[in-house]
Amino acid sequence: MVEKVSVIIPTHKRPHFLSRAVDSVLAQTYGNVEIVVVDDNAPDSDDRRRTVNVMKQYKNIRRVIYVLNDRSLGGGPARNKGIEASTGSYITFLDDDDVYLPKKIEVQLRFMKENDLEMSFTDVYLHDNNDRLFEFRRRTYITDCDNDELMRQHILHSLGPTSTFMIKRSALLEAGGFSDVPMGQDFMLMWRMIEFDIRIGYLPGSNIIQYLHDGERISVGQNKINGENRLYALKQTKAYMLTEKERKYIDFRHFAVLAVTSKRSGKPFDFIKYGIKAVAVSPKFFIHDARALFGNRSKAHVDENKPSSEYESYVLRGSTAEGIVRK
């Protein structure tokens, strides 16, 4: 494999995490990698000055490209800026507070090449503030990567985040890149790629750690609630693809997410209100999701020690048996 892979890292108000993300890409076992860091901090801010200082350590590394925006654009447009500045034939994404494990690019690119894919996605590890694994988010419900089936599963479960994606440059440009929305950018990108009938494959397992931490985040407050309402309305346009039970599950998940968001935002009344609505839609879904969530977290540590182990033989023998593509 000789293709260049570009990793786009937008950064905003997290200079203290940025070098960890960049270093994780520099440590990849696949060598032909380009890193595009897009500084989306306000030009006159302390965060911009601190980010500039962090990036000085990479000034002599030619495969690290540093793009400074004239103003803060937001996540989607910042990633599009990174895409414009990149030169790789394959493109991946990494948030400034997350990391790649060493074989992420090698394994995912091999899977795509061997199956002639235009896009692929994987599972993801979720870590807390103390770098402890608390959930291994698996896509065990994916059994076929026909695009109609992927759309159904995307509506039901949301096939993200962006760090799990690897996309062929030509396909990404054809689909128009990221939408300029305040949240749900990964959801909208996957939605668009499916609608463009891009050849997509799913590679079980994870070589990515996503951190959920305190501090400024988009997943709280009215911004999150507005975004969830917008995505819920979008999902209704594809309701004809779902069974009655699945449509009910969408309603349940919508109210459950609003309840969790309200709790994180310090709004106990709204938390109770949306929680009651979620349970009223389906007590069975409530119990099932709670069991699945905590069961997944209790098993997570089993996979943490050797996150790439299930792919070791796959990489060596060139088999594609573990991946799922169109039947």
Q: Domain of 156: which CATH number? A: 3.90.550.10
Same domain, 126 and 67: yes
Domain that holds residue 269: 221-302
- Say how far apart CA 61 and CA 46 lie, in whole Å: 25
pLDDT tens for each residue of 133-154:
888 999 999 999 999 999 999 9
Q: Exposure string (b/e) for 82-92, b if CB count within 10 Å is 16 or more?
A: bbebbebebbb
Per-residue model confidence (pLDDT) at position 290: 65
pLDDT tens for each residue of 181-221:
877 899 999 999 999 999 999 999 999 999 987 655 444 46
Same domain, 51 and 63: yes
Same domain, 31 and 57: yes
How far is C-alpha 221 from the chain's CA centre?
Answer: 21
The token duo for 145 is 């990567």
204 preceded by cis ω (within 30°)? no
pLDDT tens for each residue of 155-164:
999 999 999 9
pLDDT band at 266, cuts 50/70/90? Answer: confident
Same domain, 14 and 25: yes
Same domain, 158 and 188: yes
Q: What is the average per-residue pLDDT within 8-19?
A: 96
Same domain, 57 and 134: yes
Say yes or no to pLDDT of 229 above 80. Answer: yes
Same domain, 27 and 165: yes
pLDDT tens for each residue of 89-117:
999 999 999 999 999 999 999 999 999 99
pLDDT tens for each residue of 33-51:
999 999 999 999 999 999 9
Among 74-88, 227-241, 299-313, the least confident range: 299-313
Same domain, 281 and 313: no
Nearest alpha carbon to residue 220 among 269, 273, 157, 262: 262
Residue 172 domain-assigned? yes
Same domain, 19 and 167: yes
Structural domain total, the chain: 2
Per-residue model confidence (pLDDT) at position 112: 97
Same domain, 226 and 119: no
Residue 322 domain-assigned? no
Same domain, 64 and 190: yes
Same domain, 203 and 250: no
- Say how far apart CA 146 and CA 129 lie, in whole Å: 37
